[in-house]
Amino acid sequence: MSEIIDKIMQHWFWWALTAACVIWYSTVTIYVAIRGVWDIRSMLRRLKGPDGLPPGQQAVPPEPPRP
């Protein structure tokens, strides 16, 4: 175990740089995933019409009975 700590202490700059890159990459990945889910949900809501149906399937009111 002390060998690992010695290696880290000898190359502390590279370990710190690697840790910073991993933290940065993880943060950006999580942020993009959350924003992507939010964007997809809002796009799907906009694609649904005001009556909750997709554009090609709008509800057509029934014709009134003819006398």
Q: How much is the pLDDT for 37?
A: 96
Does this model's pTM top 0.75? My answer is no
- Domain locations in the chain as residue ranges: 2-50
Task: Report whether pLDDT(58) > 70.
Answer: no
The number of angstroms, rounded, from the C-alpha of 10 to the middle of its chain's C-alpha atoms is: 39
Do 33 and 40 touch, CB atoms closer than 8 A?
Answer: no
Q: What is the CA radius of gyration of the chain?
A: 28
Residue type, 39: D
